[in-house]
Copies of this chain bind each other. A is one copy, B any other.
């Protein structure tokens, strides 16, 4: 916003015939008393000039920018889009603005965004992106956030992350063990697992849940049953294709819905009936889960709600209250892609 004719508080004050101090008090409805008549004069002056207070200047003196920085892996992924929407709706009434940044799971990029947000004086940092398995990243991030916190900043985590901070997150481990149990109850003993990018903390946690359940329930624990699907539609299809060529199974469980849908399509195209020959289950319950090649049985992880609860946690902390970590557990949505194992 270079040049031009910005109207400042001084202009308003002059037009209203009062000091800048008084004008400020009425515009920011401070507790300091102002007489009704001058208040009206200032208000109408502001109105006629189209005055809008400069929040940068205000932030400079109050040391509160009323902005929040959010870091996600990929804003074009509806999983994150939903979270951001929940966050936005949650903080909207409190007059905060949201910066968003997509890190593309690149540790370097993510650290840079954190630095940039700090330079931008955000009041809080939200890590909606999962942690990354990278020692230098974890070390640098911890140091950065520690410094940020000492300077008065607030950080919150909405995923599985090594960062020590107040958090609200999904019970990812529990979600996976529950899905495996669900499959096991239906007679599946060889359940293939399509995992996401191994560098993501969330994938490790989910995979851990799968492994634990397989062991506890005495199912076949076979390395050949797991394959990386990169969290994408195409990756899911490719993963199931290599699984098909490598071993046999009666069910496949994917670490997210996108991969489950990709796998379903690949199976159908290859002529293996879903759920007739192979059952498929996902995780997340994204909007299109019901509209894939076969309506997907999955577990609902309420992303929008995660965002909302993250927002209220944040607001409580900014308000000086004690943070309380929260855990959101999923709920199985039964549709058509899972059935009992063939005997």
A positions within 8 Å CB-CB of B: 1-6, 50, 52-57, 59-60, 63-65, 67, 74-78, 80-82, 84-85, 88, 97-102, 115-123, 147, 150-153, 233, 261-262, 265, 287-288, 290-293, 304
Contact = CB atoms under 8 A, between A and B. Distances in A.
Contacts of A85: 74-76, 102
Contact of A1 (B75, B97, B123, B288): B123
B288 A233 contact: yes
Contacts of A122: 1
A81 B82 CA distance: 10
Interface SS majority for chain A = mixed
A80 B117 CA distance: 23
A81 B75 CA distance: 5
B233 A262 contact: no
A99 B122 CA distance: 12
Contacts of A3: 63, 152
B5 A150 contact: yes
A58 to B, nearest CB: 9
B99 A63 contact: no
Given A52-B115, A75-B81, A60 B63 contact: no
Contacts of A98: 99-101
A76 B65 contact: no
A97 B99 contact: yes
A74 B84 CA distance: 10
A120 B85 CA distance: 20
A75 B287 CA distance: 14
Contact of A291 (B63, B150, B265): B265
A2 B320 CA distance: 11
15 contacts: A1-B151, A3-B152, A5-B150, A56-B59, A57-B60, A75-B88, A76-B82, A88-B100, A88-B101, A88-B102, A97-B120, A98-B100, A98-B101, A100-B100, A261-B291
A250 to B, nearest CB: 23
A274 B64 CA distance: 57
A120 B75 contact: no
A343 B151 CA distance: 74
B88 A81 contact: no
B116 A97 contact: yes
A4 B154 CA distance: 12
A3 B76 CA distance: 36
A220 B134 CA distance: 62
